[in-house]
C-alpha cells in the first residue's frame, strides 16, 4: 500500500545504492514562465505573484518567474518587470528570468533579477523562429550579456531547445547538441538545461544524449527539461536520474509549451515529478500537498483541471 505522499516501500539507502541515482534533486520550477508564456489567456500580475508565493511556500527554491523578451513576441511575459519589483526576497529562494539579449539583460537588471538564463537551440530552424537568428549568431549575441553578468556576479543558466527533435528540422544529432552545450559553457553558463521542447524523446535517446554530453561537461552542470507531449517525460527523467542527473525542470500543473513549437504541450508537471521522486526516496524539499494546491489554484484561474495526473488523483 502506498500512502498519499508516495513514501518509498524500500529503504532510501537501498534505492540510492542500486545505481547512480542521486539522493536529492533540485527542481527548477518553470511554470510561471515556460508555463504561462504559452497560455492564450493572459494571467494578471497579482495572480502570478500569488502563484509564485504558493510555490515558495510549497518548498521550491528556484522559480523561473518571468522573461525579458520582446513583449510583441510573447505578450504573456509583458508584466515581468512588475513581477520582479513586487516579489519579496526570501532566504534561499532564487527567482530567475529569461534574457535573450543585452536589452533583456538590462531590463532584468533594472528590477534586480539575481539569476538569468539565455536560450539557444540545437536546431537552426527553431533558432530562427524562436529568437530570429542563427545558432552561431545567438551565441555571439549572448557574449556581451555574459560579460556584464560576470561583472555583476549574476549566474547565467543556458538552455538548449530541441535537443531530441525539432518541429521544423526533425531529428537532431547529439553532436550538434554537444557543440552548442560546449559553446554555452565556454561563454560562462554555469549550467546547461537540455530541453526536449516538443517532448518526442524516449529514455534510450535521453541516455544516449546524456552519455555524449557528459564526456565534456560535468554532470553537476547538466539539467533536464522535458515537455510531456508524448507522455514520455517521467520515463525520460527516470532515465536521466539513472545517469546521475540531479537537476530537473518542471512546471506546476503541467502548464506550458512553447509559442514557437506548434503542438508542444506543457512541461512535465512538478506534482508528478515530486510524487515519483518521493517514491524513489529522493528528497526535493517540497510539500506535495501544497504543490497540488498551488497547481489547482492556477488551473482554476485558467478555467480547467490541472494537467498533473497526481493532482487529479489526489484532489
Q: Does 34 bind ligand HMG (CB under 6 A)?
A: yes
The entry of Mg ion, ligand HMG, none that residue 299 binds, CB within 5 to 8 Å by partner kind: none
The entry of Mg ion, ligand HMG, none that residue 243 binds, CB within 5 to 8 Å by partner kind: none
Closest approach, Cβ 258 to Mg ion, in A, equals 6
Between the alpha carbon of residue 36 and those of residues 74, 138, 288, the distances in Å are 10, 24, 21
What are the DSSP calls for 25-78, one per residue?
-EEEE-IIIIIGGG-SSPPPHHHHHHHHHHHHHTT--EEEEEE-S-TTT-GGGT
The entry of Mg ion, ligand HMG, none that residue 155 binds, CB within 5 to 8 Å by partner kind: none
Residue span 124-153 as binding mask against ligand HMG, x where in contact by CB under 6 A, dash where not: ------xxx---------------------
In angstroms, the CA 247 to CA 26 distance is 5
Between the alpha carbon of residue 149 and those of residues 95, 152, 156, the distances in Å are 16, 5, 7
**Other residues' Cβ atoms within 10 Å of the Cβ of residue 82:** 16
- Binder among 84, 95, 159, 275 for ligand HMG (CB under 6 A): 159
Active-site residue, 258 included: yes
- Binder among 25, 74, 122, 253 for ligand HMG (CB under 6 A): 74
In angstroms, the CA 256 to CA 267 distance is 6
Q: Does 103 bind ligand HMG (CB under 6 A)?
A: yes
Cell readout for 94 is 532564487
Span of 2-10, 27-35, 116-124, 291-299 interacting with Mg ion by CB under 5 A = 27-35
How much of the chain is in helix, strand and coil states, percent to nearest 5? 45, 15, 40
Residue nearest to ligand HMG (CB): 195
Closest approach, Cβ 174 to ligand HMG, in A, equals 16
The entry of Mg ion, ligand HMG, none that residue 266 binds, CB within 5 to 8 Å by partner kind: none
Alpha helices in 63-151 (DSSP H): 80-86, 102-110, 124-131, 135-151
- Binder among 53, 73, 203, 279 for ligand HMG (CB under 6 A): 73
Q: Does 161 bind ligand HMG (CB under 6 A)?
A: yes
- Binder among 43, 205, 225, 233 for ligand HMG (CB under 6 A): 225
What are the helix and strand counts (H, E) for the chain?
12, 8
Q: How many residues bind ligand HMG (CB under 6 A)?
A: 27
Residue nearest to Mg ion (CB): 34
Among positions 31-50, residues that touch Mg ion (CB under 5 A) are 34
The entry of Mg ion, ligand HMG, none that residue 234 binds, CB within 5 to 8 Å by partner kind: none
Q: Does 69 bind ligand HMG (CB under 6 A)?
A: yes
In angstroms, the CA 187 to CA 185 distance is 6
Nearest to 194 by CA among 110, 76, 184, 13: 184
Strands 247-250 and 191-196: unpaired
The entry of Mg ion, ligand HMG, none that residue 95 binds, CB within 5 to 8 Å by partner kind: none
Cell readout for 270 is 512538478
Give the binding site for Mg ion (CB under 5 A): 34
Give the binding site for ligand HMG (CB under 6 A): 34, 37, 67-70, 73-74, 98, 100-101, 103-104, 107, 119, 130-132, 159, 161, 195, 197, 225, 227, 258-260
The residues carrying an active-site annotation are 258
Amino acid at each position: 500500500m502506498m500512502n498519499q505522499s508516495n513514501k518509498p516501500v524500500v529503504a532510501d539507502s537501498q534505492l540510492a545504492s542500486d545505481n547512480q541515482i542521486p539522493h536529492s534533486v533540485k527542481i527548477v520550477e518553470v511554470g510561471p514562465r515556460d508555463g504561462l508564456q504559452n497560455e492564450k489567456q493572459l494571467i494578471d500580475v497579482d495572480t502570478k505573484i500569488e502563484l509564485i508565493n504558493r510555490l515558495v511556500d510549497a518548498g521550491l527554491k528556484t522559480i523561473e518567474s518571468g522573461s525579458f523578451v520582446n513583449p510583441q513576441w510573447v505578450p504573456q511575459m509583458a508584466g515581468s518587470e512588475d513581477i520582479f519589483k513586487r516579489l519579496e526576497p526570501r532566504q534561499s529562494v532564487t527567482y530567475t528570468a529569461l534574457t535573450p539579449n543585452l536589452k533583456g539583460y538590462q531590463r532584468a537588471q533594472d528590477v534586480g533579477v539575481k539569476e538569468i538564463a539565455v536560450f539557444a537551440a540545437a536546431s537552426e530552424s527553431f533558432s530562427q523562429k524562436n529568437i530570429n537568428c542563427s545558432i552561431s549568431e545567438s551565441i555571439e549575441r549572448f557574449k556581451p550579456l555574459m560579460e556584464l553578468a560576470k561583472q555583476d556576479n549574476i549566474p547565467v543558466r543556458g538552455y538548449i531547445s530541441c535537443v531530441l527533435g525539432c518541429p521544423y528540422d526533425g531529428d537532431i544529432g547529439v553532436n550538434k547538441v554537444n557543440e552548442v552545450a560546449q559553446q554555452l559553457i565556454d561563454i560562462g553558463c554555469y549550467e546547461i538545461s537540455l530541453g526536449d521542447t516538443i517532448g518526442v524523446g524516449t529514455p534510450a535517446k535521453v541516455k544516449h544524449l546524456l552519455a555524449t554530453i557528459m564526456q565534456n561537461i560535468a554532470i553537476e552542470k547538466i539539467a533536464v527539461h522535458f515537455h510531456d507531449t508524448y507522455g514520455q517525460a517521467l520515463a525520460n527523467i527516470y532515465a536521466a536520474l539513472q545517469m546521475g542527473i540531479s537537476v530537473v525542470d518542471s512546471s506546476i500543473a503541467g502548464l506550458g509549451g512553447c509559442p514557437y513549437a506548434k503542438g508542444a504541450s506543457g512541461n512535465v508537471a512538478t506534482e508528478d515529478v515530486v510524487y515519483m521522486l518521493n517514491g524513489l526516496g529522493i528528497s526535493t524539499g517540497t510539500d506535495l500537498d501544497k504543490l497540488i494546491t498551488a497547481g489547482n489554484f492556477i488551473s482554476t484561474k485558467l478555467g480547467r483541471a490541472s494537467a498533473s495526473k497526481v493532482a487529479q488523483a489526489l484532489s
